Amino acid sequence: MKRHSFTSHCVLAMACGLIIALSLFAAPTKTHAAEKTYEIGTDVTFPPFEYANDNNKYVGIDMDLIRAIAKDQHFNVDIKPLGFNAAIQAVQAGQADGVLAGMSVTPERKGTFDFSNPYYNSGVVMGVAQNNNSTKSLNDLKGKTVAVKTGTTGAQYAQSIQKKYGFKISTFDDSNNVYEDVMTGNSVACFDDQPVLKYGINQGTQLKIVTKPAAGTPIGFGVKKGQNQELLKKFNTGLANLKKNGQYQKILDKYLNAKKSTTDNHSFFGILNQNKVFLWQGFLQTLWLTIVSIVFATIIGVFFGLLGVLPMKFFQGLSTTFIYVFRGLPLIVLALFIYTGIPTLIGTKIPAFTAGVITLMLDEGAYIAAFVKGGIQSVEKGQMEAARSLGLPFGKAMRKVVLPQGIKLIVPSFINQFIITLKDTSILSVIGIIELTQTGKIIIARNLEGFKVWAMVALIYLIVITLLTWLSNWGKRRTKI
């Protein structure tokens, strides 16, 4: 038991050391600049507050507002499109300086954030399908299901009245899935901020608003409690100036009254043609993330796999512990722990891409270690005994006799692991990496064409994975013994 505990600590210490080294190595070098740059975390699917336009530039009330305030107060902003939950956690972990994501100012959030003066006051409304004429008020929800988006005021409002009106709640990570759930009939209604739902309806979503705004709450810019007070002061001063010169109202009018563009082509090939560059960039990010991760995963996996076959119990225990720990952790938990948990511990920022690589390296490395260890152990024990009886030392017998046979069994598994790693990159959208899946979410936030966009993303994955599967099968045939 003591040896097992010691090896556990060794594995965790090595992992933490690697995280610190990679984060320091990957951290961008700061250059002298006349104006300070702040990293601002935001959502990616919350129009009209923030979304990507046809040119894949982040726009919306929040985005125009922070850029105008930055210009007025002479600072720069580096927008981090992380998603609402990831943006909040990034600020709490010190990964971002502030969060501007249509965030309601609530008593609970005031416990961990300092907020600016409110820049908008939003109310929650209930939306139903356009052809639904039987659900007109909250009293009609008894025994039925409503859809909400995680972390929003709409979700909090639904939870606060759930017991009174007797309905069930389905929770989703983005507005498009909320609306789709209502339109397909899985949920009878949804709750969302009035400007958000109104924007969706203006863009063609087949919903209608049936209640007046309720639970009105102020929306503000947040920083970690007790930190970045200078930034908070600049935001408040800039906001006041924008309200005085009329620029604030122009920003609101621009997005709150936005109509669906008559030039947009919402056919499958129209959307594909409009977003082909963005989808290609997302795919390249996925591929690059996969390649870098599998290289590091292979190195660490082979290392711990070989430790597992050494004739020393300490190293065998180290290998077993590494495999047990990182195969046992869900990938999403590991990603969030590395991106938001470790920085809180060590006080050093870890770039999202680096955190993603470390996550995949540890997770996939554990699986590689397992099949490397298993592949070597599957070679007949007599092979090693025969080599040793001929006078070969353990290392040379392993290198010259056992490993060449084991590699034939291992190679096809490496290709399969590459395929698995490629698919696992989609989970890293939770820490804001704009890979292929996150790209799909961003496109959907703009055009609300979930089925068509996800069909494109699925097709890209299937084509690549089919090619890799053919390669894997070819490798199996070539190494068959």
Q: Does residue 94 come out as left (phi exceeding 0), alpha (psi in the -120 to 50 range) or beta?
A: left
Residue 396 backbone dihedrals phi, psi, to 5 degrees: -70, -40
Q: d(Cα 387, Cα 399) in Å, to the nearest integer?
A: 11
Are 364 and 249 found together in one domain? no
**Distances, alpha carbon 9 to alpha carbons 14, 22, 335, 402, 474, in Å:** 8, 20, 20, 31, 41
In a shared domain, residues 246 and 381: no
Domain, as residue range, for 340: 268-479
Instruction: Give the pLDDT confidence score for residue 395 in this predicted structure.
Output: 61
Identify whether residues 153 and 229 lie together within a single domain: no
DSSP designation for 49: T
Q: Domain for residue 78, yes or no?
A: yes
CATH number of the CATH domain containing 410: 1.10.3720.10
Give the per-residue pLDDT at 359: 94
Helix locations, 93-134, DSSP H: 107-110
Quick one: 251 and 320 in the same domain?
no
Instruction: Please state whether beta strands 76-81 and 37-42 pair in parallel, antiparallel, or not at all (unpaired).
Output: parallel
- Shared-domain flag, residues 335 and 474: yes
DSSP secondary-structure letter at 20? H
The answer to whether the beta carbons of residues 83 and 440 sit under 8 Å apart is no
Whether residue 227 is found in the same domain as residue 313: no
Answer whether 363's CB lies under 8 Å from 289's CB. no
- The pLDDT value given to residue 116: 94
In a domain, 196, yes or no: yes
Residue 59 covered by a domain: yes
- CA dist 84 and 100 (Å) reads 9
The closest alpha carbon to 305, from 398, 395, 368, 383, belongs to 368
DSSP letter assigned to residue 228: -
Q: Which residue among 233, 256, 279 closes a domain?
A: 256
Alpha carbons within 13 angstroms on the beta-carbon side of residue 57 total 5
- Judge whether 1 lies within some domain: no
Same domain (yes/no): 314, 409: yes
**Beta carbons within 8 Å of 230's beta carbon, 6+ residues apart:** none
17: which 2 tokens? 């050391």
Question: Hey, what are 67's tokens?
Answer: 């850029």
DSSP, res 104: B
Domain contains 181: yes
Contact present, 326 and 366 (Cβ < 8 Å): yes
Model pTM?
Answer: 0.70
Place of tokens 């225990």: 317
Q: Identify whether 23 is part of a domain.
A: no
Contact 345, 38 (CB under 8 A): no
Instruction: To the nearest 10°, report the CA torsion of 396, 399, 402, 403.
Output: 170
* Residue 295 resides in a domain: yes
Distance, CA of 122 to CA of 213 (rounded, Å): 8
Residue ranges of the chain whose pLDDT lies below 50: 1-13, 15, 18-33, 481
Are 169 and 81 in the same domain? no
Q: Are residues 126 and 111 in the same domain?
A: no
Which is nearest to 118 in space by CA: 29, 248, 305? 248
Residues 406 and 289 in one domain: yes
Distance CA 378, CA 137 (A): 66
Tell which residue, 234, 214, 106, has the closest CA to residue 157: 214
The reply to whether 65 and 139 lie within a common domain is: no
Strand 120-129 relative to strand 207-209, pairing = antiparallel
Look up the CATH number of the domain holding residue 144: 3.40.190.10
Mark which of 203, 231, 256 sits at the end of a domain: 256
Q: Please tell me the total count of domains within the chain.
A: 3
pLDDT in tens, 111-151: 899 999 999 987 899 999 999 999 999 999 999 999 998 87
DSSP state letter for 339 = I
> What burial class does residue 19 get, using C-beta atoms within 10 Å of its C-beta: 0-12 exposed, 13-18 middle, 19+ buried?
buried
Q: Residue 292 corresponds to which amino acid?
A: V
Sign of CA dihedral 10, 16, 18, 21: negative
**126 three-class SS:** strand
Same domain, 334 and 354: yes
Q: How many residues does the chain have?
A: 481
Which of 199, 233, 256 is a domain's end point? 256
**Strand positions, DSSP E, 227-344:** none
Q: Is 320 helix (H, G, I), strand (E, B) or coil?
A: helix
Q: CA-to-CA distance for 423 and 468, rounded, in angstroms?
A: 12
Give which of 440, 101, 435 is closest to 287, Cα–Cα: 435
Q: Which residues of 260-279 are buried (b: 16+ CB within 10 A; e: fewer)?
A: eeeebeeeeeebbebbeebb
Cα separation, 59 vs 50, in Å, equals: 6
73-113 pLDDT per residue, tens? 999 999 888 888 888 888 988 889 999 998 888 888 888 99
The answer to whether residues 157 and 124 touch, using CB atoms and an 8 Å cutoff, is yes
Give residue 151's region: left, alpha or beta (phi > 0; psi -120 to 50). left
- For residues 339 and 93, the answer to whether their CB atoms sit within 8 Å is yes
Judge whether 466 lies within some domain.
yes
Question: Between helices 61-73 and 247-256, what is the axis angle to 10°?
Answer: 160
